[in-house]
Amino acid sequence: MPVSMLIGILGYKVLADLMVIVPFTVAVMFFLAYCSVDFRRLRFTKTNIAMLVLHVVFIFVFYGTAVLFFSDTVSKGVLMCAICPAAASSSAIIIMLGGNKEVGIAHIILDNVLISFLAPLVLSAVEPQENFSYIMSVIDILKKVFPLLILPIIVTALLKRLKPKWTVEIARYNWLSLLFWSVSLAVIFSRTTEMIVNATAEDMNDILIMSSISLVVCIVQFGLGKFAGKKLHSSVAVTQGLAQKNTSLGIWLAHAYLSNPLSIIFSAAYSLYQNLINSWQVYHHDKKEMQQSK
């Protein structure tokens, strides 16, 4: 994973324009995860409800704290990151780390639907807009979510129904999730690098503040996720569900709702940190498994 990040940083002039492929790579990762899931075991449990409640609490606590201590740009950057739903790619990480994939996938679906309805209310309250339409805002967000979450479900469900042996065979290639994740990382890091390189001198102060606070928020969310996960008896799934964010959706929301798009730097930096943490976790998990197999 560090190699992907380095490629993204060094080759940002070329790779930044490939951001359009990220939804495709994420959809493929989600499809591979679905193929390895028994849909009969996919339930919306008390753990999922607790995770949704915690996410909503995090949104208001993080934003409320940021408003008290930081500028409007920084506090809105915190909000945009906090309101991001769970990343579809977190399902791949949950599987890599040996977590409960059913709990993780159920949360991804529920969380993205929840935020689709909650985000327009919160963001329109924070920054009122002319001719605001709640229904159209929800539809716009759902259109972003559908190709990543719902379409892979439909395709997988059809395959499981019509060609069940195909999904079993495809599930054996779940390791390809790592490859698609690496590609996504390189592109995301290139876009982050491009944003920083093209920033003006006046913006650098806010960028440095947001980059620093983003690291703190990322570590706190992973820490709180791990703590809550132990209490809910699903450590990996809960940690990933609460801490790994769909920052690409957050960046789109910032462009759609906020007058100062510089706030997206917070989400871009968060993406960098969450992937560093996950890369470290996957590396140590694989290393531990290799030692145990000897």
For the chain, domain boundaries:
2-293
Tell me how far apart the alpha carbons of residues 43 and 33 are, in angstroms, rounded to a whole number. Answer: 16
Cα end-to-end distance, the chain, whole Å? 24
SS3 at position 198: coil
The confidence score (pLDDT) of residue 196 equals 75
pLDDT digits (tens, 9 = 90+) for 150-161: 788 788 888 888
The confidence score (pLDDT) of residue 223 equals 93
Beta bridge partners of 86: 245
Tell me how far apart the alpha carbons of residues 108 and 270 are, in angstroms, rounded to a whole number. Answer: 18
Beta carbons of 264 and 255 less than 8 angstroms apart: yes
Instruction: Classify domain 2-293 at the CATH topology level.
Output: Na+/H+ antiporter like fold (1.20.1530)
SS3 at position 232: coil
Q: What's the burial of 9, exposed, middle or buried (CB within 10 Å: 0-12/13-18/19+)?
A: middle
Beta carbons of 34 and 156 less than 8 angstroms apart: yes
The confidence score (pLDDT) of residue 293 equals 67
Stretches where the chain sits below pLDDT 70 are: 1-2, 5, 39, 129, 132, 148-149, 201-202, 260-261, 293-294
Query: What's the pTM?
Result: 0.78
